[in-house]
Structure 1
Amino acid sequence: MLRVIDIDYIKDYELLITFSDHSKKVVDLRPYLTGEVFGELLDKEKFIQYGLTHTTIEWANGADLAPEFLYEIGTVA
C-alpha cells in the first residue's frame, strides 16, 4: 500500500512529497483547491496547516487526499 511518509512545503500550493516507495514528487495542489472543504485551503495560512496521518497528508480543517492521487498528479522531483 502506497503511503505518504514525508512532506515539505515548497511555495504557494506546491509540496514535495516522499512516498513509501521512496519516490519524491512535486505536487501542485492549486488546481484542486475548490469546493467547500478544499476551497478553504486557498488561504495560505490554512494551506500550510497540514500534518501526516498514518497514510497521507491531512489539513487542520479535516481535508485529505489519497496517496495514490497525490502520486498520480505529482511530477518526479
Structure 2
Amino acid sequence: MEMIRVINAELKGEYKILVEFNDGIKGIMDFKKILEEDHREIVRELLNMDLFKTVKVNLNTLCWDNDVDFAPDYLYEQIRASKNVA
C-alpha cells in the first residue's frame, strides 16, 4: 500500500481546508474544534485566522508558519470518518 500524502490544500472558509490526497480522495477538514480542544499552545495559536491562513503543503502534509503540522494519515482518517469526502 502506498503511503498517504497530501498533494493539495485550499482554504474553504473559517478553519476549513479542502485537502487532496495522492490516492484521489479529497475532502473538507474542519479544524475549529481540533484547535479549540488541543492543550498545546502552539496548536491553539492557529485559532488566529491570520496565522491559520498561512497553511501550505510541505513534506506531504499541511504545515503552518508557526511550524505546526498534522500527519497525513491523521488528516485522511478524519476526513473519511467525517463523511466530508468530495
TM-score (norm 2): 0.85
Aligned partners of 1:11, 1:32: CA distance in 2, in Å? 16
Amino acid at match of 2:30: D
**Higher mean C-alpha displacement, 9-18 vs 49-58:** 49-58
Partner of 1:76: 85
TM-score (norm 1): 0.94
Partner of 1:37: 42
Partner of 2:17: 15
Higher share in strand: 1
> CA-atom RMSD, angstroms?
0.9
Aligned sequence identity (%): 35
**Higher mean C-alpha displacement, 29-38 vs 13-22:** 29-38
Alignment length, in residue pairs? 77
Q: Which runs of 4+ in 1 moved over 6 A?
A: none
Structure 2's unaligned 5+ residue stretches are: none
Partner of 1:58: 63
- 1:68 aligns to what SS in structure 2? helix
Partner of 2:54: 49
**Higher mean C-alpha displacement, 32-41 vs 61-70:** 32-41
Amino acid at match of 1:20: N
